[in-house]
Amino acid sequence: MSKNYYQDLGVEKGATQDEIKKAYRRLAHQHHPDKNGGDEAKFKEVNEAFQVLGDDKKRAQYDQFGSAAFENGGSPFGGSSPFGAGGFNPSGFNVNMGDMGDLGDILGGMFGFGSHNTKQRRGQDIQMDVELDFLEMVKGVTKKIRLYKHDKCTKCKGIGAEEGSKINTCQECGGQGRVQKAQRTIFGTVQSLATCAKCYGKGEVPEKSCSQCKGNGIEKIDKEIDVPIPAGISDTEGVRITGEGENPGREGKSGDLFLRIRVKQHPIFTREVNDILSTVEVPYSMLSLGGKIDVETVDGQGSLKIPSSTKPGTVFKLRGKGIPFMRSLGRGDHLITVQTKVEKNLSREQKKMIEQLRDSGL
């Protein structure tokens, strides 16, 4: 079912980018799962809508094709990417005959005009969750990812032949790389071409198979790779690493590795779009008389000036101390809410002073 992203954000179809951003900030704050009464499902729905409508190119694709343009890997005709992430998601809606190779093969087999070029086999994608702490999300980090997967044989480099082995013409397909198959359909018997299972479409086979991979061109290996995670990436977004999925074997192309990001909660900070929220407790005397306090930020210790006669619940803004924007320069802000600090264990003298303030009307 097509999704209505405008309805999800509560804006009209002709809304400006400023109106879209304001609606997103309001709804993200309202439904944030870290808040009491927050709704994680609604928060993800709002975030998904903003990822599309907040980008002019994606918005144009959505207006033309609907939400199908962003399902199944970014194309309404299907794809391999399970998620889009920041600057890593597949580029928009783009279909060409290369994307429709299977359809061309079917039509070619039925009506005699298909291409005889073999389609390269592709290995399966790998999906993993990667956990970041809050500061790693803010600053960006390089994560070591350990994989246990099928990769090219280290001895034959994926060819499947023993070194120095003679390469012969495949007897199964006669060197064509494809074999003809007859298939019974409602239209009668249809002749079609299929990739040769013996030579994998190459038309050649080694006289002597690789002793390490038995001619398959792959082996199971432990592998460790360094993956840079960009600063500002959101929880549940993904990073795509091309070619680090499973290798299908001889003359095949490896799939991709998809990393879904999980950001751990921080004891002090929470995230709202690209702003950081925190709360500090300030003595009543400082709220009344003013002063300076030390506050913790993601960049280390900072200082906050409290004007006299500040009311509890007042929000102060540290500009540019928030979360980096992934698609543009700059950072969000750090919003600090001040609350009255209530002492639990008061001395007799302190209680007497507070009573005097109370009696004086303060």
Given a cut of 60, whether residue 95 has pLDDT beyond it is no
Residue 36 has which token pair? Answer: 């009491």
80-94, 314-328, 348-362: range with lowest mean pLDDT: 80-94
- What global pTM score does this model have? 0.57
pLDDT band for position 69 (cuts 50, 70, 90): low
Higher pLDDT, 84 or 180: 180
1: confidence class by pLDDT, cuts 50, 70, 90? low
Q: How confident is the model at residue 56 (pLDDT cuts 50, 70, 90)?
A: confident
* Residue 272: exposure state from Cβ atoms within 10 A (0-12, 13-18, ≥19): middle
> By percentage, how much of the chain surpasses pLDDT 70?
80
Q: What is the mean pLDDT of residues 180-202?
A: 78
Closest CA to 65 of 52, 51, 80, 54: 52
Most confident of 105-109, 177-181, 351-355: 177-181
Query: CATH assignment of 274-359?
Result: 2.60.260.20
Higher per-residue confidence, 136 vs 84: 136
Confidence of residue 345 (pLDDT cuts 50, 70, 90): confident
Give pLDDT tens digits for 215-268: 888 999 999 999 999 999 998 888 999 999 999 887 788 999 999 999 999 999
Mean pLDDT over the full length of the chain: 80
Whether 15 has a pLDDT exceeding 70, the answer reads: yes
Question: In this model, does residue 211 exceed pLDDT 50?
Answer: yes
Token pair listed for 212: 């390490």
* Across 78-94, average pLDDT: 35
The answer on pLDDT for 103 being more than 60 is no
pLDDT of residue 239: 92
The percentage of residues in the chain with a pLDDT greater than 90, rounded to a whole number, is 38
What are the sequence ranges of the domains in the chain? 167-206, 274-359
Across residues 265-281, what is the average pLDDT?
94
